[in-house]
Structure 1
């Protein structure tokens, strides 16, 4: 009877252990998702920004850490650590080609684990990996970034640069059109600011019959250049000194006197 009780208790323990295993198996281990660009082109001699963001199911703890590793292009060696961040402090490399060239620009509270690499050179070509841990989130697959250092001429022109260039070009063209139009309008208006006029006059021949007066005619005046002085009206006066006594007698016609009054 005692033996049966012992066997029954052992059976219960086995069943309880299986239940615990099944329970934990139904809840997978916490994991962190890390994201970087797949490829980055950097001009030789400039600064490259290695963007890295992540998602964690846990609140960021003081034990959160970031590690960046580098594997040179075509190398069969193991990756080397070029930067480490832990306990709120950055730990840049003290040796290797990246010494004094790595700068921490991330913020773990904002899920950002980015760094900057200054004075990029062709020997920096290779694969960079960003690894983030936030206990208890420690199950993580590092995200890899391929960097290619190239000359400026090999850099593709971004859509932003194209749009900005088009906008600037349109603005400059509009300004030029506006200025040219304004100058044309001003020039046309200046031609009508002042009008100096000259007249052509023709005097009729003296009348051969008595009592007929000399007639004068003038043609319409035409405006001269705006630089010519303004000319006032011309007054024509005819004086009669014949001293004629009768209406039937002929009288002498004196020369016509022209008085030209001009404004200074």
Structure 2
């Protein structure tokens, strides 16, 4: 079906749509996003790392560029570019304040456009701007970081050190709690008192019959020992009242109490 079968109104709408499609289809609609911290504190005389990253919908090519500019604190200037990166090469510039002090530490393949400024001084206080272009992503706004060069005493405490100290303190507390709990449990355990042992043979038991082997004193005795294991040797004793040395004579044996000797 051609345009001849459409009424004039439909033709105008269709032609308008094709015209808009042609215009917006040939223009770049993507933009590059640049990110940098709002504020940075640097100790006087030390190295400062100015972080800058970006996000682009296009593959980073050799045409990508990075520009860093600086506005001193309290100044109304528009900013002076002191560092430029293009074609895979850094260009530090000739600004006397930053001469031979700026190094490229970024990696455009990782979307990193950071730089390093050595031996930062109080005169380096101000606003630093990072601007990245990655054609055809050229529409974007530079990101700004406020840099303060201060004395060491003015720096905030290191969060990593605080966290490490808290973890170590918690571990020590748990260890002490475990030791105290163990000692309390040991102290609360019941103690068993030893009552001793006596022979179960009665003093009035009948005499042994001739020819019958005398039972071992250990077999004829019973002991109600405590639940804990015996800690020392047991001594047995029997008294002989016959007064004779004849081996064939019958000896009158008197059972006696034996005792358990524990180790002190």
Superposed pair shares fold, TM > 0.5: yes
Match of 2:99 in 1: 99
Shift of 1:98: 0.4
- In structure 1, runs of 5+ residues without a counterpart are 1-11, 178-264
The alignment's TM-score, normalised by the length of structure 1, stands at 0.56
Please give the per-residue CA displacement for 1:200-250, whole angstroms capped at 9, x wherever unaligned.
xxxxxxxxxxxxxxxxxxxxxxxxxxxxxxxxxxxxxxxxxxxxxxxxxxx
- Counterparts of 1:10-159 in structure 2, within 5 Å, are 16=15, 19-21=18-20, 24-25=23-24, 29-159=29-159
Distance 1:63 1:117 in 2: 25
Distance 1:76 1:82 in 2: 17
Q: What's the C-alpha RMSD, in Å, of the aligned pairs?
A: 2.8
| Contact kept in structure 2, 1:93 and 1:100, CA below 8 Å | no
Higher strand share: 1
SS of the residue corresponding to residue 140 of structure 1 reads: coil
Post-superposition shift, 1:78? 2.0
Give ranges in structure 2 of 5+ residues lacking alignment: 1-10, 177-264
Give the CA deviation at 1:16: 4.7
Q: Distance in 1 between matches of 2:100 and 2:170?
A: 44
Query: 2:30 & 2:153 partners in 1: Cα distance?
Result: 45
Q: Does the 8 A contact of 2:28 with 2:136 survive in 1?
A: no
Distance 1:143 1:81 in 2: 14
Aligned length: 163
Q: Conserved in 1, the CA contact under 8 Å of 2:39 and 2:147? A: yes
Quote the Cα distance in structure 2 between the aligned partners of 1:165 and 1:101. Answer: 36
Q: What does 1:127-206 correspond to in 2, within 5 Å?
A: 127-166=127-166
Mapped to 2, the partners of 1:51 and 1:135 lie a distance apart of: 22
Moved over 6 A (4+): 12-15, 168-171
